[in-house]
């Protein structure tokens, strides 16, 4: 019971931190003001931002797994050049998400609700940075181990 409570509390703290970081990115990008008229439904820019955020989330999960378990029971999986595969995937997905999120934020001309995907792009930017950090930490750990 105590462990479940701690996990739930940690998950809530993580969600609150992510929401706070997304809001900070929106404020810095001057896109924090909500729209006067809200656009409903999926627009092309929302789809772009959602896809980038999804890639970033996959990168965070892969980077977290690479940090938690540096190798499976058969050892870490390496590419032919000796690069750990999971860390490379996390780094590449994080970089793609950061670039797409930043580009979407740069071309957005309105805040939340305008259909420009500003919130999703800010989320992709934050999650992409987290994925890159996790992948980098896992890469550093794998270099120390081998």
pLDDT, tens digit, 9 for 90 and up, residues 17-27:
888 888 888 88
pLDDT, tens digit, 9 for 90 and up, residues 99-145:
999 999 888 887 787 888 888 999 999 999 999 999 898 888 877 76
Give domain limits for the chain.
Answer: 2-145
Query: What is the rounded distance in angstroms from the CA atom of residue 43 to the CA atom of residue 51?
Result: 12
Band of pLDDT at residue 74, cut at 50, 70 and 90: very low
What is the pTM for the complete model shown? 0.80
Answer yes or no: are the C-beta atoms of 43 and 115 closer than 8 Å.
yes
pLDDT, tens digit, 9 for 90 and up, residues 88-109:
899 999 999 999 999 998 888 8
Closest of 53, 77, 66 to residue 136, by C-alpha: 66
Band of pLDDT at residue 81, cut at 50, 70 and 90: low
Mean pLDDT of 74-80: 54
pLDDT at 146: 58
Answer yes or no: are the C-beta atoms of 26 and 113 closer than 8 Å.
no
Average pLDDT, the chain: 84
Answer yes or no: are the C-beta atoms of 22 and 119 closer than 8 Å.
yes
């Amino acid at each position: 019971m105590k462990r479940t409570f701690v996990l739930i509390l940690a998950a809530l703290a993580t969600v609150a931190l992510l929401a706070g970081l997304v809001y900070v990115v929106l404020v810095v990008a001057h896109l924090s003001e909500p729209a006067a008229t809200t656009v409903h439904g999926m627009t092309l820019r929302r789809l772009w931002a959602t896809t980038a955020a999804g890639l970033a989330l996959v990168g965070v999960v892969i980077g977290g797994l690479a940090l938690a378990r540096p190798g499976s029971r058969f050892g870490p999986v390496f590419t032919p050049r000796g690069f750990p595969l999971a860390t490379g995937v996390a780094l590449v997905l994080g970089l793609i998400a950061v670039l797409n999120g930043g580009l979407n934020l740069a071309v957005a001309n309105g805040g939340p609700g305008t259909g420009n995907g500003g919130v999703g792009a800010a989320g992709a930017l934050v999650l992409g940075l987290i994925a890159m950090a996790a992948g980098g930490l896992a890469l550093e750990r794998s270099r120390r181990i081998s």
